[in-house]
Amino acid sequence: MSKPFVDIRHAAKKFGELEVLHDISMQIGKGEIVAIIGPSGSGKSTLLRAINDLDPLSSGEVWLEDMQVNKALPPRQYEKHINQVRQDIGMVFQHFNLFPHLTVRGNITLAPKMLKGISDAEANALAEEQLKRVGLLERIDYYPSQLSGGQKQRVAIARALAMKPKVMLFDEATSALDPELVEEVNQVMKQLAEEHMTMIIVTHEMGFAESVCDRVVFMDGGYVVEEGPPEVLFRNPSHERTRNFLRKHLQGQS
Amino acid sequence: MDFDLILRVYPFFLEAAWVTIQLSVYSIALGLACGALGAAARLSRSKPARAAGAVYVSVIRGTPALIQLFILYFGGPQIGIQLDAFEAGVIGLGVNIGAYMTETMRGAIIAVDKGQGEAARTLGMSRAQAMRKVILPQAARLMIRPLGVNINAQIKGTALVAAISVVELTYTAQRYIGSTYKPFEMFFLAGVIYLVIIYATGLGISYLDRKAALR
Ligand SMILES: Nc1ncnc2c1ncn2[C@@H]1O[C@H](COP(=O)(O)OP(=O)(O)OP(=O)(O)O)[C@@H](O)[C@H]1O
Ligand SMILES: [Mg+2]
């Protein structure tokens, strides 16, 4: 692999006495799409949230291109630094976290207007462009409460994309959705994959991971147990724990 | 019941009601300001600010409002604070209700889903920006009803300042009892006027709450 785009070096995380991540290192190339799978409590979300410092690491480093995300700075400077870096890291949550007091347009334009100093007209054009991308332009003046779960998540993706991030993080973006709404969100993510967006996707949808991702990382108990291309990891895993997990999981699904 | 008497004295009671309304409005405005400051202090990242907020709330809520008024009005001159009765009433009641409003506002702010702040921060907003544009607008909706409860309590609480001789409704009722010897009629009349003020305020609060809920 060429120079890593996202570089996680010796990441460790403790919540009090509980060690949730043990010395995890992971490199993700530009345009690469990585799935993180693993049982509940294995530390997938914690790792993902360490990338934009939402859950700061106890030790270790996270780099995005040539910038250390979690670099040591005095608090005030760190605030400035991290707010800048986060503009480059889009994040999509399981429960969408749309702003309920704002319309779809307001949700998408709030941060760009506030942080990028663009005009209302530019912000509107931006919102329209991103909504077209997720196929929801006609919902621009709706409130989140007037949308289905799938539509909410697509708006959340559009909101993240409007910041023109360099990488997108997805934390179980479809787990809270009714089964029939999952596909429309997966479609949007597939489209982003085709546009070569760098993506790190925590998911429990093995089929989706297999069809979209370049690489799958299996985590258990705060360790990366095994990683590899989906066809290898899913068809021919080398670790017993991976096999166990996949067996249970595939049974659960069918 | 002596209705003739009521008809004769009610204009004076209406004048007194106007004082009650002024006391209420000013002290509630002061209370909202104290509440906002108190909530900001209690949610601050600075430890001294949090401690100051906590002391304010526990001291005010842990002592009778009447004692607070007495300290301010009768004790104030001893430490160089000279206030007339109305001023002392407004300040005493306002600072008092501010402690309750601190807790109301703080409660509404922390009741906003944690994911809201996270989403805002993830987009690159600072704490202050996330608070102003994402959390507070949602908290504001949540606090209308409970602040309404505080406001209701405060309007009734203005009766306390009769004890420092502010000529408001309760004081006026007491004064007319002295000359008419009709406590039932006088307190009844005062009660009805309180009821009207509180009922009207309640309608206003419900209206605001409904409007906020409509997005
Ligand atoms: N804020 C926190 N405080 C204490 N412990 C936490 C906190 N957040 C997570 N944990 C613990 O860290 C461990 C890893 O949690 P994490 O959410 O990263 O797992 P996950 O792999 O995302 O699980 P799931 O599939 O259920 O989302 C769990 O044991 C969890 O209880
Ligand atoms: Mg998780």
pLDDT band at A2 (very low <50, low <70, confident <90, very high): low
Helical axes B114-122 vs A75-86, angle rounded to 10°: 80
What's the 3-state SS for B58-75?
HHHHCCCHHHHHHHHHHH
A203 lines ligand 1 (CB under 6 A): no
Which residue from A49, A219, A178 is spatially nearest to B114, judged by alpha carbons?
Answer: A49
SS3 A87: coil
- B138:A163 CB<8 A: no
Q: Is residue A76 within 8 angstroms of chain B, CB to CB? A: no
Q: What would the mean pLDDT of B49-61 be, rounded to a whole number?
A: 97
For A110, the closest chain B residue by CA position comes to B133
DSSP category for residue A47: H
Candidate of A18, A175, A220 to mutate for ligand 1, largest count of ligand atoms within 8 Å of Cβ: A18
| Interface subset of A 100-159, CB within 8 angstroms of B | 100-101, 110-111, 114-115, 143, 145, 156, 159
Residue B87 above 60 pLDDT? yes
| Interface subset of A 180-239, CB within 8 angstroms of B | none
C-alpha A218/C-alpha A211 separation (Å) is 16
Q: What would the mean pLDDT of B56-65 be, rounded to a whole number?
A: 96
Domains and CATH numbers, chain B: 3-214 (1.10.3720.10)
C-alpha B118/C-alpha A213 separation (Å) is 26
| Residue pLDDT, tens place only, A168-196 | 999 999 999 999 999 999 999 999 999 99
A99 lines ligand 1 (CB under 6 A): no
The residue among B213 and B79 whose pLDDT is bigger is: B79
B122-154 burial, b at 16+ Cβ within 10 Å, e below that, comes to bbbbbeebbbebbbbbbbbbbbbebbbebbeeb
Looking at residue A239, its amino acid is H
pLDDT of residue B215: 59
Q: Do residues A141 and A127 touch, judged by C-beta distance below 8 A?
A: no
pLDDT band at A254 (very low <50, low <70, confident <90, very high): very low
pLDDT of residue A47: 96
| Residue pLDDT, tens place only, A128-161 | 999 999 999 999 999 999 999 999 999 999 999 9
Looking at residue A22, its amino acid is H
pLDDT of residue B7: 86
| Residue pLDDT, tens place only, A35-93 | 999 999 999 999 999 999 999 999 999 999 989 999 999 989 999 999 999 999 999 99
Residue B214 above 80 pLDDT? no
Which has the minimum average pLDDT: A29-43, A84-98, B172-186?
Answer: B172-186
For A98, the closest chain B residue by CA position comes to B116
| Average pLDDT of every residue of chain A | 93
Q: Taking CB atoms and an 8 Å cutoff, what residues of chain B touch A93? A: 115, 118-119
Looking at residue B40, its amino acid is A
Strands A18-28 and A198-202: unpaired
Residue B208 above 80 pLDDT? yes
Q: Do residues B122 and A54 touch, judged by C-beta distance below 8 A?
A: yes
> ipTM for the complex?
0.92
C-alpha B65/C-alpha B87 separation (Å) is 15
Q: Which residue has the tokens 């109301």?
A: B104
Classify residue A223 by burial, with Cβ atoms within 10 Å: 0-12, 13-18, 19+: middle
Q: Taking CB atoms and an 8 Å cutoff, what residues of chain B touch A156? A: 119
In the sheet that holds A6-15, the strands lie side by side as A18-28, A6-15, A59-64, A67-68
C-alpha dihedral over B68, B74, B79, B83, to 10 degrees? 90
Choose the mutation target among B47, B123, B142 for the interface with A, i.e. most A CBs under 10 Å: B123
Strands A167-171 and A198-202: parallel
Radius of gyration of chain B measured on its C-alpha atoms: 21
Q: What would the mean pLDDT of B46-70 be, rounded to a whole number?
A: 96
pLDDT of residue A1: 52
Percent of chain A residues past pLDDT 70, beyond the cut: 98
In this structure, how many other beta carbons lie within 10 angstroms of the beta carbon of residue A222? 21
- Give the number of whichever ligand sits closest to the CA of residue A223: 1
Q: What would the mean pLDDT of B121-145 be, rounded to a whole number?
A: 95
C-alpha B215/C-alpha B213 separation (Å) is 5
CA of A15 from ligand 2 middle (Å) equals: 15
Q: Taking CB atoms and an 8 Å cutoff, what residues of chain A touch B121? A: 54, 83, 86
What's the 3-state SS for B115-171?
HHHHHHHHCCCCHHHHHHHHHHHHHHHHHHHHHHHHHHHHHHHHHHHHHHCCCCHHH
Which has the minimum average pLDDT: A3-12, A56-65, B178-187?
Answer: B178-187
C-alpha B43/C-alpha B109 separation (Å) is 9
Residue B180 above 50 pLDDT? yes
Helical axes A120-133 vs A149-161, angle rounded to 10°: 130
Which has the minimum average pLDDT: A37-41, A221-225, A246-250, B48-52?
Answer: A246-250
pTM attached to this predicted model: 0.89
C-alpha B45/C-alpha A59 separation (Å) is 23
Q: What would the mean pLDDT of A117-122 be, rounded to a whole number?
A: 93
Percent of chain B residues past pLDDT 90, beyond the cut: 85
Q: Do residues A138 and A152 touch, judged by C-beta distance below 8 A?
A: no
Choose the mutation target among A51, A83, A118, A142 for the interface with B, i.e. most B CBs under 10 Å: A83
- B137:A54 CB<8 A: no
